[in-house]
Structure 1
């Protein structure tokens, strides 16, 4: 039974989902970093919100950890690079609080336009300063949306309903998508110059840090209003404070800050600033949604292999997971076959091509390629899996490519892996027998039909009489039983392949004896 730790406060319904799905769960909130490191090795999964910091040091002690689930969007508190290197899936719930966060941005926009917080405080203090709080209408104003993904597009939709004109900057926003949601797609510099109100809905990256900089504020329209309900660090807070004091920026509303919890800021003393303590996702509905979603996603992954909303590996839906499983096993086994032979020859891999034909060509090939790379990198790197194998290949300068053939195949489905090394190109192809059992059908262009077995011997030799008898005699003298014996050759008297399933792993002495046989070119043990 998989075991999950919930280390931040989540809805009790999440606990019930884990247990109902057959996942053991412990709830231990408020753990110190040292406390978390002391116990995390017991768990297969870790469910968090924003309080728990999943650092490199935590991951190093998480020897059984397979998945970190963030109930919410931001994963700033997870060391993604270290998690990926250790083969840990990191997933979030990008849609669970989208509406809530978008509504908070709209609420901040209204509060800013009509000075609602200041007017409320004044009235409660016994004043009646009707003439002091002169607001502005939103109708007809230009709203600049920086980041038009899930949340940004909802904000744009609500703003259009308020009869605002919406312009958007997002490098990933297509012209068609912009037309569909009714926004004008423009460049960042144009947005900053044209917008009456700017709202931020982008993740914090090296490219977006301080996207609202001192220079950007100087180029903005006088009287602009700034809203940030996305991530702290998108706005240069010191520069914003100066622009507010000078009157160039009419007002700002921030739900997120460079340092949180935000105990002090140059913005706090300014009347034309609205501040909230990171409340974007703080509604009953959103908290329930993200908790339920992350519990379902983590349970699916731990129990069926389905991957949803992963940050560091391809997604596999719960519906597709059972169908993809035999194909993933085929790809992993083919990759392991090629990887073990390459390692045996001490060759450096330069490039890998994975080809898909027949039924395999119509599938989601991203997880299949990840499985193939996991098999390939496994003999070279302990702990290689579908999460970290693509990164391991990239870090070693291995060029990886996919080819999907839209053509009839000799087999109902076919996957071929070609590995280019310093000395040769080696290809191995396989299919699924009876729709579920991986089978080798080709090695180095030579037809060879064989099932994968726990222990195998791969031998290349010259096709001459007497070889099979001498080879069998070596195994017999060593007391090794042959389970299956598969042969293939390019042409009579030419290169031949012998692939033998045996009952036990061959010793080094047996391998030396096989390699010493006349006509043998190569002999290598394989394990699956």
Structure 2
């Protein structure tokens, strides 16, 4: 009988489900890391919330551990690379607390509009300051959503019920999905200029970090109110304090902070600022939902081998896994490549397989493509929930299977259609196991996609490669591999370099300014 340890406080229904499914369970909470290390070796599964830190040291001591289940979304407290190296599956429950988090954002919006925390404090102090707390109505105000995924769409629905106008900025929001939600799709600058209230519902990635920077806060409408129940780090907290002090931002409510627990913050004590201690998921219903879901997922894995909402493993049967593993690695790389290069406004993606790939189950391959495509925008996407997220955003996904024989014994082609037109990349497997890019946007180019890379579109002119090498060399950037393709002699060329350290900031601008460079972008795999 499999044995699971619940190491954080969790709704009793979780233990009940484990036992009903034939899994032995112990509920032992509050252990120190050393105490957890001493007992973890006897368990097949570990069910946690946010308190338990599943470090490499814990995993090294977990000699029998097969699965870690996080009742909730965030897995910052789990060393996923170490878990993968140990063969431990890491699962989460990404949709169990969506309604709760959305409602908390709406609650904070009301609190800001009517200055409820300060009015309560003043009244309970024996004052009666009706003239001091002059609020604003939500009716007919414009709500700007930064992120229109699962939680953002729920907030939009509630806001529309309050007779607000809702505009949304989201790279994956299609015009069709926007119409379905009843919102107007806009650019970020347009949202900043028009919104009376701004709520953030996006993960923290390289592209969203400080999305409300000092510069972007300055672009907002004077008197705007800002709410963040998503991730700390989406807002420049020092800049937000200055904007509150100056009166440009009328109010801000944060449930999340860059450093948590937030015992000290530049925002604390600032007039117009409201804070809560990461309560987005803190309702009885949400706690029950995520506890039930994590128990069901872990029990299914331990008893039947089913894999659901895994962050480091695709949804596969035991028979399919060995054959599909290298194909999914290739598919995720192709999805990541086209996602990083295509930008915003994607409407459709096509996944084509031919040769040996056409004889396999295409669903995991498509899931891997979507996981790679959207991981730039989401920190919880995986091969299991990627198709759901794509559908939620209105992304049209098409699968094509070709019986024809091509230039390669097996081939996967990923094509996307969006604001910048259609783009396509293709890859194969060398020796049936090594992923290799073989085509980019109609140009033949062979490359391994790994680590830090630099992508350049340039004019095929003599001397360019020398100038580029000198520029990178002077900056201390070592080139690992060099892959070049071109449409025709003297025409458009594509260059992919693997580099030992990322090309960013001023150096990337310098590369872009080199004669002949049409486009340059840093990539990460």
Match of 2:485 in 1: none
Q: Which secondary structure state, in structure 2, belongs to the residue aligned with residue 47 of structure 1?
A: strand
Match of 1:181 in 2: 181
Give 5+ residue unaligned stretches, structure 1. 317-323, 336-351, 370-385, 388-402, 409-414, 425-528
Match of 2:356 in 1: 355
Match of 1:242 in 2: 242
- What is the aligned residue count? 364
Taking a change above 3 Å as real, the CA distance of residues 15 and 232 of structure 1, as seen in their structure-2 partners, is same
Following TM superposition, by how much is the alpha carbon of 1:368 offset from its aligned partner in structure 2, in angstroms? 11
Match of 1:153 in 2: 153
Following TM superposition, by how much is the alpha carbon of 1:81 offset from its aligned partner in structure 2, in angstroms? 2.6
Q: Are 1:224 and 1:248, in contact at CA under 8 Å, matched by a contact in 2?
A: yes
Match of 1:208 in 2: 208
Match of 2:275 in 1: 275
Q: Are 1:167 and 1:191, in contact at CA under 8 Å, matched by a contact in 2?
A: yes
Match of 2:25 in 1: 25
Determine the C-alpha separation between the residues in 2 that align with 1:108 and 1:152: 14
Q: Are 2:354 and 2:403, in contact at CA under 8 Å, matched by a contact in 1?
A: no
Determine the C-alpha separation between the residues in 1 that align with 2:35 and 2:219: 49
Following TM superposition, by how much is the alpha carbon of 1:252 offset from its aligned partner in structure 2, in angstroms? 0.6
Task: Please state if 1:162 is matched with 2:162.
Answer: yes
Determine the C-alpha separation between the residues in 1 that align with 2:66 and 2:282: 28
Task: Please state if 1:100 is matched with 2:110.
Answer: no
**In terms of mean alpha carbon deviation, does 11-20 or 22-31 score higher?**
22-31
Determine the C-alpha separation between the residues in 1 that align with 2:159 and 2:147: 15
Match of 2:34 in 1: 34
Of structures 1 and 2, the larger Rg is shown by: 1
Match of 1:223 in 2: 223
Determine the C-alpha separation between the residues in 1 that align with 2:138 and 2:301: 45
Q: Which secondary structure state, in structure 2, belongs to the residue aligned with residue 306 of structure 1?
A: coil
CA RMSD of aligned residues (A): 3.4
Determine the C-alpha separation between the residues in 1 that align with 2:140 and 2:20: 51
Match of 2:256 in 1: 256
Of 403, 408, 430 in structure 2, the residue corresponding to residue 420 of structure 1 is: 430
Match of 2:293 in 1: 293
Q: Are 1:114 and 1:135, in contact at CA under 8 Å, matched by a contact in 2?
A: yes
Taking a change above 3 Å as real, the CA distance of residues 331 and 211 of structure 1, as seen in their structure-2 partners, is closer
- Residues 90-130 of structure 1: CA distance to partner in whole angstroms, max 9, x if unpaired? 22112111111100100000010011111111111111111
Determine the C-alpha separation between the residues in 2 that align with 1:368 and 1:253: 37
TM-score, length-scaled by structure 2: 0.63
Match of 1:72 in 2: 72
Match of 1:114 in 2: 114
- Residues 173-193 of structure 1: CA distance to partner in whole angstroms, max 9, x if unpaired? 222222211112222222222
Following TM superposition, by how much is the alpha carbon of 1:330 offset from its aligned partner in structure 2, in angstroms? 7.1
TM-score, length-scaled by structure 1: 0.63
Q: Which secondary structure state, in structure 2, belongs to the residue aligned with residue 143 of structure 1?
A: strand
Alignment of 1:76-91 (within 5 A): 76-91=76-91
Q: Which secondary structure state, in structure 2, belongs to the residue aligned with residue 10 of structure 1?
A: coil
Give 5+ residue unaligned stretches, structure 2. 329-352, 370-381, 384-398, 405-409, 413-427, 435-525
- Residues 403-456 of structure 1: CA distance to partner in whole angstroms, max 9, x if unpaired? 974559xxxxxx99996349x9xxxxxxxxxxxxxxxxxxxxxxxxxxxxxxxx
- Residues 282-326 of structure 1: CA distance to partner in whole angstroms, max 9, x if unpaired? 11111111100110011111111222222222235xxxxxxx554
Determine the C-alpha separation between the residues in 2 that align with 1:32 and 1:259: 22
Determine the C-alpha separation between the residues in 1 that align with 2:296 and 2:355: 32
Taking a change above 3 Å as real, the CA distance of residues 334 and 79 of structure 1, as seen in their structure-2 partners, is closer
Taking a change above 3 Å as real, the CA distance of residues 327 and 82 of structure 1, as seen in their structure-2 partners, is closer
